[in-house]
A and B are shown apart, each in its own frame.
Chain A
Amino acid sequence: MKVFRWLWLALTLALLANGFRVAMFVVPIDQEQGEISRILYYHVPSWCGMAVFFAVNLICSLVYLALRNKNRERALKADALALASAEMGVVYCLIGMTTGSLWGRAAWGIWWTWDARLTTTLVLWLIYVAYLLVRRFVTGPEMRTLAAVVAIFGYLDVPIVYMSTRWWRTQHPAPVVEYGRMAGVGYFRGYAAIRG
């Protein structure tokens, strides 16, 4: 198990280093944005990572609530995974907000604006920080149950963040691949069609 941990650390550092190399030296500069376009190579994947980890957190919280009285060992494993994924989600959310702010100052001339995308994202980050604080400071046997419930309610903000640039007019750029009021929902419908 210890070897696996060191391998995991080495793989993480190698991937981070390679990502840095590709973003800085392989990809050409964007014609319109110039150098600051390279910020997006960390900014956008951070949101993808955050979405994945918060989804894992939701699933694990549901599993914990479903199994807590039936299979204690599995429920505790799910709870541990929920905690780890929430930490990772908060880390990626923080990276996304910081890099976005630095990009925004250069591209828009402002560090921050209270538009729908940025505000809902800040609220999302605060919800999951609150989740981690609940886990840290609440004592007693019901702490895990309470945390799971907070996680489930907290996840409600994730689709709002995702759809915010489609539902409201925002300073944040609109999607360039899937745009329109209900864009992006098609992915879920398409996935459902593939699954039959």
Chain B
Amino acid sequence: MNPMFHRHLVLAYAVTWVIHLGYLAYVALKWKAAGKTEDEHS
């Protein structure tokens, strides 16, 4: 097994998951903020 190939594979998967989950967290925060605004108006 080539150690550089293994390192890059792990990095690629980690980066992909971090970006995916980071975006999900960003969307969740936006939903939360939108929910608060709705509650304040109602």
Genuine A/B complex: yes
Chain A residues closer than 8 Å to B31, beta-carbon distance: 5
Chain B residues closer than 8 Å to A98, beta-carbon distance: 12, 15-16, 19
Is B5's CB under 8 angstroms from A106's CB? yes
Chain B residues closer than 8 Å to A24, beta-carbon distance: 13
Q: Pick the contact of A39 from B12, B20, B24 — CB < 8 Å?
A: B12
Is A42's CB under 8 angstroms from B9's CB? no
- A43 CA / B12 CA spacing, docked (Å): 9
- A9 CA / B21 CA spacing, docked (Å): 11
Taking residues whose C-beta sits less than 8 angstroms from the other chain, chain B's interface range is 10 to 19
Q: Is the interface of B mostly helix, strand, loop or mixed?
A: helix
Q: Pick the contact of B6 from A5, A35, A95, A99 — CB < 8 Å?
A: A35
Taking residues whose C-beta sits less than 8 angstroms from the other chain, chain A's interface range is 20 to 34
Is B24's CB under 8 angstroms from A9's CB? yes
Q: Pick the contact of A35 from B1, B16, B19 — CB < 8 Å?
A: B1
Is A34's CB under 8 angstroms from B5's CB? yes
A52: shortest Cβ distance to chain B, in Å? 16
In the complex, the chain B residue whose C-beta lies closest to that of A105 is B8
**Which residues of A, 92-125, contact B by the 8 Å Cβ criterion?**
94-95, 98-99, 102-103, 105-106
Can you list 27 A-B pairs with a CB-CB distance of less than 8 A? A5-B31, A9-B24, A20-B13, A34-B1, A34-B2, A35-B5, A35-B6, A36-B5, A36-B8, A36-B9, A38-B9, A38-B13, A39-B8, A42-B13, A42-B16, A43-B12, A87-B23, A91-B19, A94-B19, A95-B19, A95-B20, A98-B12, A98-B15, A99-B12, A102-B11, A103-B8, A103-B12
Name B's A-contacting residues (CB within 8 A): 1-2, 4-6, 8-9, 11-13, 15-17, 19-20, 23-24, 28, 31
